[in-house]
Structures are given as C-alpha cells and as structure tokens.
Amino acid sequence: MEADAAWLPPEVFRPLGSRRVLVRGTGPLVDTVAAEVADACRRHGGAVLSGAPDDADLVLEADGGSGEGYTLARRDGTTTVTAEGDRGLLHGLFHVVRLGEDAFRGDRAPEEHRPALALRMLDHWDNVAVHPVMGQVERGYAGGSLFWADGRARDGLDRVRAYARLIAACGVNAVAVNNVNVHATEARLLTDRIGEVARLADTLRPYGIRTHLSVTFAAPVVLGGLETADPLDARVRAWWAEATARVYAAIPDFGGYVVKADSEGQPGPFAYGRTHADGANALAGALAPHGGTVHWRAFVYDHRQDWRDRSTDRARAAHDHFVPLDGAFAPNAVLQVKHGPMDFQVREPVSPLIGAMPRTRLAIEVQATQEYTGQQRHVCWLGPMWSEVLRFRPDGERAAGRLADALVAVSNAGDDPFWTGHPLAQANLYTFGRLAWDPGAEPGAVLDEWIALTHPGAPARLAEGLHAVLDSSWHTYEKYTAPLGVGFMVQPGHHYGPGVDGYEYSPWGTYHFADRDGVGVDRGAARGTGFAAQYAEPWATVYESPDTCPDELLLFFHHVPYGHVLRSGKTVIQHIYDTHFEGVAEAEEARRVWAGLAGLVAPARHARVADLFEEQVRCAREWRDQVNSYFLRKSGVPDERGRTVY
C-alpha cells in the first residue's frame, strides 16, 4: 500500500500551483521551495516565472539571512512572502499552502510571522537493532522505524524525505533519529557508524530539519576504551571533543546530542560523584565550538522504590535533583523536562521544574506517541492537553511569556502506510508542530488547518464529523481510564489496557494508595510528601488543600475518602462510576459518527479507523468494568443509579 499523503496531498497545492509564481533568493532551502512550486505548477497548470514581479500572482523572496521569520502581504493582485532567509521562505511557502485560496483574495496588510521557539524537535525512540522487549521502536505504535531496518540505515530514504516535508510543513525543525535508551548497537552511531547518520541528515536537510543523535553517557568507556566516563576527567573531555569533531566533519550542520543519564538504569554522572550539570557541561563543551547543543533529560528518579515508603515521591525527583543546579549549566546545554512530574499521564499537573530554573535553558517534552493515551488504537487528540501546559503560568499570572526555550515531542510516526498507525493520530503530529511554532495558538483552529489540509475540498459534514470525533477525545479517554489525576492504572510493561493495581506494589513509584477508606496520594506539605510546596505561589497554596485543589488533579495531590464531595456536587466514588459509564458512551458515539462518514473519506483510511474504533470501544468497556468493579469492592458504596457494576 502506498504511503498516505497526510496533510500534504497534491490537491492542497492547487491554489498556488494554478497561478503565476516567482521565486527569488539563494540557498539550499530556496531550491526546495522552487522545486515545490515547479511541481505544483506542473500538476495544476500554473507557471513558474523568471521575470519581473509585476507579472506574478505570488512572489516568494528570501534575503541572504538565516532566520525563520517571514512577512506575508497582498496588494494590487499580488501576494508576497518576504523571508529573513531561506528557512523563512520554506515556512512562508507552507503558510501560503495552509491559506489556500484565501492567500489570493482581497488585500492583506503585512503580517510578520516568526516562531516563538527557536527549536521544535521530534525525538524518535527508534532502535537500530530490534530490541527483544521494546522492538524496533520503543513505545512505537505505527510499525517499524522510518530510519532503520535490518540493523542499519534504510537503503531507500524517499520515505524519510517525505517525512521531512510533512513535519517542516507544520513547523518542526529538528529530529533526533534514535532512542534515548542507547543500546550497544546504537551507541556506535556516534563513531564508526556516523556515516549512516550522515545519510539521514542529507535526506532531512533539504526541508530545514537538523539532525540530532541520542548518545550514551558511558560512550568514553563503551566506545573509547577508557576505564572511566567521569565528566571532570581531562581524558574523558578530550575523548568527547575528538568524537564530536568527527561527527561535525561528517555532518557540518549537526544539531547536537540528546542524553538520558542516571535514569531507569542508564549510566550517568552519579556513578562518579558528579552532578548532572557536570555531566551535561562535559558534552556541551565538546559541542560548543561547532554550534551544537546538548539536550539533557531531567527524567531522573528512584525506580527501585519500596512501595511501603510513603515519604519517597517520584513526582518530587526532577525538582529535587535539578533546581539546586540552576545557573550551573553551560549556555548550550538545554534541560529537557517532561511536561508533568510523572510520565505523560492522561492528566497530571505541569512540572514544578518549569519556571523554577530561570538561569537554565529548558525544553518542555511532550509525548505524541500515545504510550498512556491509547497507543494509537484509541482516538485521543492531545492538542488541548498540550495547550493547557503551554498556557500555564507558574506565578498564576495571565501575562504572555514563554515557559521554555524549546518544545520537544516523542514522535508517533513509523513506517505504517498511515504514518501514525491510527490515521487520526496524524492530528497529534501536526498539532505539535503548530503549537511549537506558536504556543498560544488555539488548538481548535490548528485542528481546522489539519482537517482542511488532509481532506481538501471535503464537504462541511466531514469537518463537523471530525470535530465531533476529535474535539473531546482527550476528555473521553480520561473519563474511562484513570480518574481525577490518579494515573498509572495500566497493565505493567506494555501499558495498554486496565490494570488498576498493576504498578501498586512495584518499585516504580507509581501508586494510587486505594484502600477501604479512600484513594489518592497525599502530596501536601502539611501531612504528605511536600511535593505541592515545590510550586510557586499561588499554586502551592491551591494544591495544598483538597478544598482548593482542582477536581481533575485531586487524587494526584490528596488521599480523600470516597464520600469526599467534588465541586460538581458528586462524591468521588460516584464521579468514578459516572465518568466511566460516560466515557464508554462517548466512545460508542464517536464510533457511530465515524461510521456515518463513509463515502467522505478514502476507503482504506475509513476502514482502518473503523476497525480501530471497534478496539477502542471494547477496551473502554474493559476499563469501565475493571475500574468500577475495583472501587465498588474497595469502597463498598454502590452506584446510586443502580447500573451494573461487576
């Protein structure tokens, strides 16, 4: 089956490709723009001009800079995109494509567009060698890797080029091509296999995508034959400098390294009595002469916790480890922080680390791959979740301002013909790119863009149906899974489907502490772990008391009786029953709506989604029945509406 065109089918280029277009400027990305315009005009009957702009319907012009910004205007029948450099021209081209015919109507006063965040990156958790447990792509739900097959870089990279085009069109400008858990085979990409990475970089480069590489902190030992990886050892620093120089000799525009250290068994600076700033700065020092950046993940916690220990709190770990290091990181070191304090749950608070390190460059990391949100077998559009995170203000103020220097997502793409396994999960990939460009964008407007680009010329009924299916899908998933922010009621290991006590007595620190009297984790300062006090005011006070804590986060911050009354007027136990029944009903309704869109969607796409809706409804019912049964037995309180709880 031929790969799906996602949000760039040829038809979306018709408004541009049916007109007279002039492209002016120099640079490799100007060449990409010119090729896109030529192809569109060939398909749709327009003309590529080489003369004066007076004859053009559209002028795309770049100056000699390297910026990503551009100005869009229309006057006297000519639309113009004037870019700060060839990167800006590429983004301006795709803006015109998004506008469609509207780009060529009336007059348009000059509009300046530039990204709010300079780095907008996708991290691929792809393995070169198939891992015996995690497979080709760790937490991947869209087939195999786009980049790697049979233990090496793929021979044909046309699909990689098409992927670069797709993600550039929504604003992404960087990709890390391998898993943050760097195994033995993948470690060698840094040295004797760097040529394979260079081939990928050559393929991504024409669309302005810089290549990054995940590396192991222990590389000087694993690859260099040293007996130590101590970041303060001069030999270790020299090894990193030499290895990095060889990387840049192969890939002159290499973006930098991604590192997971002292986390879930990965080696790190703690083994040598050093701090994470020491570790990050050793790699940053090697990268600095070449203009590279190290992304140092803050996902550091005790994963060998005693479940009986109520004082150790995984949620506290990142703040405890890293806030004392604020100001100690090199200028080209970026601390990459998961958006929540735990692990990409369907509902958790924004990490208190965000906003707590004003002298450190931060990247916010989100998860487009749906590890805990249905694994691309369930519809779960995450735009509203990400928007809530990006609009959060640590000081409680509404004033504009950015939370971080970069936005990173764990990619949800693979070699599946539909790119993301579930065709509707493409909306998450597109939405990430657009929110990374403009964190203040309205998710609903971004979804409108995705619908119009993916289904050009479709009747209004299709757009209405897609909104009906996608708009509330995050809340629907939340309703039939873990309630009120409690999290982690999943099957261990693969994390798909309900397992209410799956991690309850494990060393991973992911507990709900349900007993006969109540449920939830006490994270207040007065009687709990003190996690709530890691937030600045007013949030520390808001989260401290169950009377002021938002209902959707109540069980994240507090252990409360089943009879605790929420702001809705319902008790916690009745909320659990009601939402789980509601979530199943909403999934069934979404399935019905999708069935009614047959004939408006390509048959293969419609069939794939229809099949997946059957699995979603089945799994939602399983969640409902297991969660409701569990809490009926724990609490002894029946459903006040008398519905069947097994």
Nearest CA-CA partner of 501 in 344, 306, 634, 316: 634
Question: Which of 343, 348, 586, 639 is the catalytic position?
Answer: 343
CB atoms within 10 A of CB 459: 10
Cβ–Cβ < 8 Å for 534, 321: no
Nearest CA-CA partner of 302 in 310, 294, 312, 292: 312
The three-state secondary structure class of 9 is: coil
Task: Report the DSSP beta bridge partners of residue 293.
Answer: 256
Contacts of 252 (CB under 8 A, 6+ apart): none
> Which single residue is written with the structure tokens 């799906």?
4
Cβ–Cβ < 8 Å for 146, 126: yes
Q: Token pair for residue 224?
A: 């260099």
Rg value, the chain, Cα: 25
E strands, 42-105, are 47-49, 58-75, 78-85
Beta strand 152-153 pairing with 148-149: antiparallel
Cβ–Cβ < 8 Å for 87, 29: yes
CB atoms within 10 A of CB 386: 25
Cβ–Cβ < 8 Å for 115, 68: yes
CB atoms within 10 A of CB 487: 26
Estimate the share of the chain in helix, then strand, then coil, as percent rounded to the nearest 5: 40, 15, 45
Distance CA 125, CA 180 (A): 6
CB atoms within 10 A of CB 610: 15
Helix or strand run (H / E) with residue 273: none
What are the residue ranges of helices labelled H in 395-459? 426-437, 443-454
Q: Is 26 left (phi over 0), alpha (psi -120 to 50) or beta?
A: beta
CB atoms within 10 A of CB 589: 14
Instruction: Assess whether 138 carries a catalytic annotation.
Output: no
Distance CA 10, CA 443 (A): 25
Task: Report the DSSP beta bridge partners of residue 119.
Answer: 406
Nearest CA-CA partner of 267 in 353, 183, 339: 183
Beta strand 135-137 pairing with 119-123: unpaired
Instruction: Assess whether 2 carries a catalytic annotation.
Output: no
Q: Is 6 left (phi over 0), alpha (psi -120 to 50) or beta?
A: left
Instruction: Assess whether 343 carries a catalytic annotation.
Output: yes
Cβ–Cβ < 8 Å for 72, 108: yes
Return phi, psi of residue 30, to 5°. -65, -40
Question: Which of 111, 264, 306, 615 is the catalytic position?
Answer: 264
Question: Which of 84, 196, 230, 371 is the catalytic position?
Answer: 371
* For residue 538, cis peptide bond before it (omega within 30 degrees of 0): yes
Contacts of 640 (CB under 8 A, 6+ apart): 574, 577
Catalytic center residues: 264, 343, 371
